[in-house]
Amino acid sequence: MKYDIIVVGSGPGGYVTAIRASQLGFKTAVIEKESLGGICLNWGCIPTKALLKSAQVFDYLKHASDYGLTIKEFDKDFNAVIARSRGVADGMSKGIQFLMKKNKIDVIDGHGTVKPGKKVSVKSADGKETEYSADHIILATGARSRELPNLPQDGVKVIGYRKAMTLEKQPKSMIVVGSGAIGVEFAHFYNAMGTQVTIVEYMPNIVPVEDEDISKQMERSMKKAGVNIMTNASVEKIDTSGPGVKATVKTAKGEEILEAEILLSAVGIKSNIENIGLEAVGIKTEKDKIVVDEFYRTNVPGYYAIGDIVPGQALAHVASAEGIICVEKIKGLHVEPIDYGNIPGCTYATPEIASVGLTEKQAREKGYEIKVGKFPFSASGKAKASGTPDGFVKVIFDAKYGEWLGCHMIGAGVTDMIAEAVVARKLETTGHEIIKSVHPHPTMSEAIMEAAADAYGEVIHL
């Protein structure tokens, strides 16, 4: 079979790429060895949000009296919560199947391996191999949970994120190693469900890529919710010989042993670049990533790569954007490279975190003279009425030109608010323009306008 474009992998990078390619008139096929939608849709972004929604509803029930409501009896069904999450993921995967048919994209089941001469060999589950060719081959094979030598995952007592979504029973206690988005989200979910959770983070702050003020607020909020947090700490070794797991944790005070039923390793991801034929084709890699140019072309003509397997933020929306740019460039359209400095990042724990651009520390290190504004949700009428006063919006502007350098939020619903900052930064909007843009009242989004006003000494409600 000969195609114009073959996409290897059907995650949010792969399937979006395939659809855009089809829209542009390319005869397109997508190769997938597991489930359409990839990790994000089946084992990441979507099912975790379903779990977190159950945790949020359960938390509302526990605090019903705060809203003037009396609920005498309620409980959780952990297996039903897990089942709902899987059901949501399955439904979304079926939706991708529909989109493939709608856009006349051939779905080829099996493991794809690229070969020289713009060919892909696909090995199906029954061992049969079939070869396909295309003018353009786009790799979108994604990533998986990273395993550290001292934290080998056995899938029973030491687990990764996939197993954390499908445990047969709720553990009484859990150690979460790593406090990035994956670690913090699972720590919040299991804590909300009633599991005793301890986070072990190697860096001085949890969610260490965030602005320091955000990290400190998240730590306060999680501790208030009952999560035990250890920073500047590392797991040196584990012992799974007993009924649970014992982790030897090194801190500034020395070593201590933590015990729990389950240890979740959330120490990052590993690119899926092995066993897909890169060496045979001669595609260059560096530091666990495929080397590409600004339009995702590898060093071998006709072969491209997008998503978690190339440098840049390993996020679903980044992979989708990269795939669209890749095929539009192939088509010959005028496209601009992605500005990786204007990519929003979101963490969906409680409170949520959303950010884009430079942190305060980064802005100062780059030599900017800055204006910083903050507005707490405790001063927001909508947040108070909603019972979600924790958190704040923090904005950073260049004092000389008013350029919006960074925006950092922590609070209820902020992952839906960050797009304002992304679009404004794309349009080179200044701080004064944000202040003079009338925001609706009462909304959480008013906090962005108020934070900008605070930066310029014009804040009204603080």
Tens digit of each residue's pLDDT (9 = 90 or more) over 412-428: 999 999 999 999 999 99
> Is 260 a residue whose pLDDT tops 90?
yes
pLDDT of residue 404: 98
pLDDT of residue 129: 94
Tens digit of each residue's pLDDT (9 = 90 or more) over 22-71: 999 999 999 999 889 888 888 888 999 999 999 999 999 999 999 999 99
Binding residue per annotation — 179?
Answer: yes
Tens digit of each residue's pLDDT (9 = 90 or more) over 102-134: 999 999 999 999 999 999 999 998 999 999 999
Binding residue per annotation — 110?
Answer: no
Three-class secondary structure assignment of the chain: CEEEEEEECCCCCHHHHHHHHHHCCCCEEEEECCCCCHHHHHHCHHHHHHHHHHHHHHHHHHCHHHHCCCCCCCCCCHHHHHHHHHHHHHHHHHHHHHHHHHCCCEEEECEEEEECCCEEEEECCCCCEEEEEEEEEEECCCEEECCCCCCCCCCCCEECHHHHCCCCCCCCEEEEECCCHHHHHHHHHHHHHCCEEEEECCCCCCCCCCCHHHHHHHHHHHHHCCCEEECCCEEEEEECCCCCEEEEEEECCEEEEEEECEEEECCCEEECCCCCCHHHHCCCEECCEECCCCCCECCCCCEEECHHHCCCCCCHHHHHHHHHHHHHHHHCCCCCCCCHHHCCEEECCCCEEEEEECCHHHHHHCCCCEEEEEEEHHHCHHHHHHCCCCCEEEEEEECCCCEEEEEEEEECCHHHCCHHHHHHHHCCCEHHHHHCCCCCCCCCCHHHHHHHHHHCCCCCCC
Tens digit of each residue's pLDDT (9 = 90 or more) over 296-316: 999 999 999 999 999 999 999
Binding residue per annotation — 25?
Answer: no
- Total residues belonging to the chain: 462
pLDDT of residue 145: 86
pLDDT of residue 442: 96
Strands 28-32 and 392-398: unpaired
Binding residue per annotation — 268?
Answer: yes
Mean pLDDT within 5-18: 96
pLDDT of residue 454: 97
Binding residue per annotation — 112?
Answer: yes
Give all domains of the chain, ordered by start, each with its CATH number: 2-145+270-340 (3.50.50.60), 158-267 (3.50.50.60), 351-455 (3.30.390.30)
pLDDT of residue 38: 84
Which residues does residue 28 pair with via DSSP β-bridges, in sequence order? 5
The pTM of this model reads 0.93
Residues known to be catalytic: 441
